[in-house]
Structure 1
Amino acid sequence: MKLQEIVDELARTLGRSVVVNDLDYTPIAASEQEDDVDEMRRRALLKRTTPPEAREYLEGLHIRQIRQPTNVPMAPFGGQERLAIPIRSGDQTIALLWLITGDKPVLRSVDYAAIDAACELIRVLLEQEADRDGGEARGVIDALLSSDDATARRAFREAVDRRMFAPGPGTTVLALRIDGSVSEMDRLTLGRRLATTRAPRVLSLGVHRGPLLLAARTTDVEAVAQVVSHELAAAGMAPAPIGTATLDEAESDLVGAADRAVIAARIVSRVPSVAGIADIADLGFWALIDSVAADPEAVRVYSPAAYALCTSEDPTQRETVETYLDVGGNVRVACEKLHIHRTTLYYRLDNLPDTVKDALDDGPRRSALHMSMKLFQYHRAAAGLHA
């Protein structure tokens, strides 16, 4: 029997609708929905995903870790009570079968026998599918970041069909900028270990432009980061800066998101104020800096004032001007950050080189001064130097 046939047969036997989800709460099979369907299930089936707030709620209940049928109240989301039945392979849950139980007759022992039989058939099918798809899946994964556009798009479509990840914002690409002393083989091994995690579900895309790339069927990147941190420590590796990028709705391959995640990881590794993990969507300013030619000497052309400050042996003037510009010229906040008195700030600003004072008094040159200081330090950090 096919998965859909099993689900339909169970629904007829029980006299109620049946849905089977994977561990990301994405429907993989659903019977015809009876009158018991509520708005929550309707949304999940139409959009092929469970709403984020409901996912968070279910995660809080540790539904993916249940070992026996469990009643799940869904009233907080305007839904009826459900019965979640784990479909297990060995000691691992591989899918969840859901029944709406609210306002329905109590399930009888004969019903539970039918549910057990259906779960066993579904388990066998899913295991067979996993075995059959193993080798083919690796080929699809390897082609996801192909330099050939047509190949990358074809692999993307097949990966979506195989439910490796979902198109659009439900998928996040993560780039792990692992210490350069770690071999590529060890990075790939780490990726394979991460790909075996059940929660959250992660796909290892391999090494791309230096970092190890992962695709996660979640927007909860903090949960993924925790798993990554645990696996890095277990492997004796140092914590890795992580850059993330969410897949856009219109994207038909993973290449763009992968490239954005790599840029984000590079920024996290170079900018001390960006701690540990950051999404490219929150790094617009630094992404602009990253895109400028990696030559600190170019600052001499962009802003002679910035070059003078950044190459001075005394860092006080650079720190003062940079902080002052960072806070938009707010004297009180600048003094708090620099731990100095207002009078001291004014004194420092009055005694800057003329080229710097002239730049501060002119809008475009002031902007060039600010960005060029960031640019100089950013690329000095890339070279392992300190401005």
Structure 2
Amino acid sequence: MLEELQRMVDALARRLGRAVAVDDLDFRVLAYSAHHGEGDDMRARVILSREAPPEAMAWLRRQRLGRATGPVRLPADDDLGILPRVAVPVVYQDVRFGYLWLFDTEGSLTDEELGLASATAADAGAICFRDRIVSQLRTAREGELVRDLLSEDERVRDVASASLIESGLFAPRGDVTVMIARPLPAGADSVDEDDRIALQAALTTLFSRLGDRGSLRLVRPDHAVLVIPSTTLRRSPELPEALRTTALQRLSKRAKWRDVHVAIGSPASRLSNAMTSYTQALDALRVAEVVPSFAPLVAHEALGIYALLASRPFDQLGAYGVHPAVRQLLDADRELFTTAELYLDRAGDARATAAELGLHRASVYHRVRRIEDITQLDLSDGQHRLLLHLGIKVARLLGLV
């Protein structure tokens, strides 16, 4: 699309002997010609940054261009360094895509020249309309294939992977990683259609940053999914935070969301195995929701023992993992429960445990003896330590703490 717009802009600029540009509805530059005649400081700034600065945006909005149905002459503004110009709406099938701009310092543009500009703007609108339709079809097709890629059926996943690669929607570059973004409600609210649109917009923003064929995206009922080459994540480790920030910005107009959690699965060896990374990311989200220390950005590879525990439905863990000793400890003293967890996390290192709790080492030894008395476990025995440690982690996943 951009190449076609550029050719049209250059052709009109040569014919009129004036600088020509096309912006989108947010006044971001889509195409601009070499200077023919006068230009101004504002256009130079827009071309350099690819978007209008805030003061120019405010000035443009005051012109009420959204109501224009034909060419509009705009006056100069010396304070902003803006020369007189003409804005021509880029419209097709009653859909507005942006504006075509011409400098007109002397007010010398004739009706014939304005007609040529209007015809070019109409052609530009047709190009933008076609590009939007193609983009929507591509996004719909991509969504169908990504849903199949995350199917439980291995054969369906294999077909989807082959189709994504053969159709040029994804360029294979070794292993792939799945990221998930899920909004956290402030109350009992759930994700609705407006929220899903916001998540789609967040994915689209990040998608444009990653480039063509650099990622796959999908919005599911309560979360957004991004599939990327693992090399991309290794080169740009800030991507999970960028996804979270972008999603928060898109959802910020709705007070019902208090945060967005982003989870990263472990790399899958090839695209057809992306389901594994996706499942791991879902497991990581479940852990982060009940173990706040992992939030808001959680990688499956950082879960430790929680990765094993989270691979089972939480409602099954109680039957297998919560030893009566853990419940006894919880009922007796929550402070002792915390001490036991930290002591076991630190491999029985009393010095490290004392330092983190701000206690004397003798106090930690005293607490360990009380823990052993309550649980009837010997923490010098490896099997007993494992039993208690697993039970504590299961208790956290079940929300008992």
**TM-score normalized by the length of structure 2:** 0.56
User: Structure 1, residues 309-342: CA drift from partner, whole Å, max 9, x if none?
Assistant: 13x1421221221111111111111112222212
Structure 2 distance, partners of 1:174, 1:139, is 20
Q: Give yes or no for the alignment of 1:187 onto 2:195.
A: yes
Contact 2:322 2:394 in 1 (8 A): no
Amino acid paired to 1:298: A
Which aligned pairs between 1:315-334 and structure 2 lie closer than 5 A? Answer: 315-334=334-353
Which aligned pairs between 1:30-69 and structure 2 lie closer than 5 A? Answer: none
Contact 1:232 1:238 in 2 (8 A): no
2:364 is matched with which residue? 345
> 1:125, CA displacement in angstroms?
9.7
> 1:345, CA displacement in angstroms?
1.5
Contact 1:145 1:254 in 2 (8 A): no
Structure 2 distance, partners of 1:130, 1:161, is 22
Contact 2:268 2:274 in 1 (8 A): no
User: Which ranges of structure 2 fall in alignment gaps of 5 or more residues?
Assistant: 4-47, 52-89, 91-96, 99-125, 234-238
Amino acid paired to 1:199: R
State the aligned residue count.
266
Contact 1:160 1:167 in 2 (8 A): yes
User: Structure 1, residues 38-76: CA drift from partner, whole Å, max 9, x if none?
Assistant: xxxxxxxxxxxxxxxxxxxxxxxxxxx8659xxxxxxxx
Which aligned pairs between 1:101-180 and structure 2 lie closer than 5 A? Answer: 131-132=133-134, 134-146=136-148, 147=151, 148-168=153-173, 171-178=176-183, 179=185
Amino acid paired to 1:283: L
Structure 1 distance, partners of 2:147, 2:324, is 41
2:6 is matched with which residue? none
Of residues 283, 288, 291, the one that matches 1:263 is 283
> 1:288, CA displacement in angstroms?
0.9
1:283 is matched with which residue? 303
Call closer, same or farther: CA 1:315–1:302 in 2, change over 3 Å.
closer
**Aligned-residue identity in percent:** 22
Amino acid paired to 1:214: L
Structure 2 distance, partners of 1:169, 1:251, is 8
Contact 1:306 1:369 in 2 (8 A): yes
Which aligned pairs between 1:309-320 and structure 2 lie closer than 5 A? Answer: 309-310=329-330, 312-320=331-339
User: Structure 1, residues 92-121: CA drift from partner, whole Å, max 9, x if none?
Assistant: xxxxxxxxxxxxxxxxxxxxxxxxxxxxxx
Structure showing greater radius of gyration is 2
Call closer, same or farther: CA 1:137–1:346 in 2, change over 3 Å.
closer
Structure 2 distance, partners of 1:378, 1:285, is 11
Amino acid paired to 1:192: Q
Structure 1 distance, partners of 2:200, 2:142, is 15
1:298 is matched with which residue? 319
With 128-137 and 227-236 compared, the bigger mean Cα shift is at 128-137
> 1:165, CA displacement in angstroms?
3.7
Contact 1:200 1:224 in 2 (8 A): no
Of residues 199, 221, 240, the one that matches 2:240 is 221
Contact 1:243 1:266 in 2 (8 A): no
2:209 is matched with which residue? 199
**TM-score normalized by the length of structure 1:** 0.58
Structure 1 distance, partners of 2:289, 2:371, is 31
1:61 is matched with which residue? none
User: Structure 1, residues 241-292: CA drift from partner, whole Å, max 9, x if none?
Assistant: 1111254233415322222221121122221211311221222421112134
- Cα RMSD between the aligned structures? 3.6
1:241 is paired with a residue whose SS is strand
Structure 1 distance, partners of 2:132, 2:275, is 25
